[in-house]
Amino acid sequence: MSPADKVPHAVTDLIAHILLRFHETHRAEVPVLVAQARALAAAGVLPELAEHLEHMGAALEEHMFKEEMRLFPMMEQGGGTLLDLLLDDLEREHRAHEVSIERLQALLARLPATPEAALLAAGCRKLIDDLQQHVAAEDEDLFLRFGPRRTTAVGRVVQP
């Protein structure tokens, strides 16, 4: 684990870590992956992969926007009356991200063995790893700081 991957203890520090480590990374890397997938699709290679990455990117951007504009400020102020409803909504989106990851993995398995496809696959595997770490940091750490939750990062029901 590098110093940049160490998880902070204070809520504000953890939020800053999530913004820097995950949100900025996703925003920088997803458009590159979409462009690579579009280039392959233009050559007739797996156009549904480009479509799926575009969909994932849009869903991820909407999710991060909700966190940045509503959830994180509310948490930094100690919570709020709507916090549980917002957390429920974002946890549902986390489960949807997991389904998107499964679809992405299935599509990656269909890529041909070309240098361009290998480069795209490597970037997508990094996205998958980053997104799983992102969801875990929130579900298994940040969200739990505001009370017990009903699900874990893998969707198992837990008792509050």
Task: Let me know if residue 140 belongs to a domain.
Answer: yes
Q: Would you say residue 12 lies in a domain? A: yes
Please indicate, yes or no, if residue 155 is contained in any of the structural domains: no
Is residue 154 assigned to a domain?
no
* Distance of alpha carbon 49 from the chain centroid: 17
Over the stretch 117-157, which tens digit does the pLDDT of each residue have?
999 999 999 999 999 999 999 999 999 888 776 554 444 44
**Is residue 30 included in any domain, yes or no?**
yes
β strands within 2-159, DSSP E = none
> Which range marks the domain in which residue 74 is found?
3-146
pLDDT reported for residue 104: 98
Could you give the CA distance from residue 124 to residue 53 in angstroms, rounded to a whole number? 9
Examine the pLDDT at 17 and tell me if it is beyond 70. yes
In a domain, 25, yes or no: yes
pTM (2 d.p.):
0.85
Q: Cα torsion for 9, 95, 117, 125, to the nearest 10°?
A: 30
Number of domains in the chain: 1
Distance CA 66, CA 89 (A): 10
Residue 34 domain-assigned (yes or no): yes
Helical (H) or strand (E) element with 94: helix 83-108
Tell me what percent of the residues of the chain surpass a pLDDT of 70: 87
